[in-house]
Amino acid sequence: MAPANFPAWSPMGETRRVLVTGGAGFVGATLVRRLVDSGWAVRVLDNLTTGDVAHLEGVDAELVEGDIRDAKTLDDALDGIESVVHLAAAGSVVMSVADPATNFNVNVFGTFQVAKPPVDEHSLPKPISPYGASKLAGEGYAHAFAKVYGLGTIALRFANAYGPWSARKRGAITTFFRAINAGEPIVIYGDGSASRDYTHVDDICHALELALDSDVPGGAVFHIASGVETTVQVLADLCRDAAGVPDHPIEYRPKRPGEVERNFASYDLARRVLGYVPTIRREEGIRSTWEWFQESVFVDG
């Protein structure tokens, strides 16, 4: 049941109602704020495994604690909802290698549950980790449901996201900043030449908003990225510079299995169809993320 303060359905569409799964997590914490500020009535469904109630403190959104894999919980959360932004996921490549069964259960079965039927993007994806396979499978179900049942689905393939609210994220920038703050060496797996596209969460959430308001055929897929290739070595240097410790030590270890050597994306299709253009420069975004960590995470450290 929707709470008394959750807007009822309106035939005139004055209030748009959206469910954000995983909305108390890293990307969700930014997206929910933006949607509320834009006039959406937002309900969040999160099991708080990696999300945190504190991420939504002071935000005028309904929080339902529960798991997307539980049918009753999900059905109740969908009551009165027009649109869904599905962000709930097991998001660690390393953890997917250690426990592929759980990764499958959350990312594939969980997406299957959310994408219920009513009752560059042309490259061939070849995942080399259970995480990548699980996300591709979920995307496949979204496409199939769009074509078979007419469900309006859009899949956004995020580049490596970073920014505020990412303290619980298992990612390079978070890991590097924690090492710097603790006075420990930054650990790089491999020789530092592996590359990624790092995209600020504000740009990613802007793309999600554009997708919610778009009118594209169901099953569409878009890459959301910065368009800038960054090696792990360069990323470590940027993090050290942002923290004001350009000579902070780095420790190199053997490359880990399941991780792509080179991975960056073009956002040309998203630009043409959705109007997406990233606005936050890499250096500016990493610097502001370090400042957020200092103010919100390392204050007692």
Q: What does the angle CA 69 – CA 75 – CA 81 come to, to the nearest 5 degrees?
A: 120
Q: In degrees, to the nearest 5, what angle opens at C-alpha 261 toward C-alphas 168 and 188?
A: 55
Report yes or no: 88 and 110 within 8 Å, Cβ to Cβ. yes
The Cα diameter of the chain in Å comes to 61
Tokens 């006075």, residue located? 183
The question of whether 131 is a catalytic residue gets the answer: yes
How is residue 177 written in tokens?
């900043």
List helix spans (H) across the chain: 26-37, 71-78, 93-98, 100-104, 110-114, 130-149, 172-182, 201-212, 232-242, 268-274, 282-296
Nearest partner of 213 among 7, 13, 6, 2, judged by Cα:
13
Is residue 278 within 8 A of residue 200, CB to CB? The reply is yes
The one catalytic residue among 131, 141, 162, 276: 131
The residues assigned a catalytic role are: 131
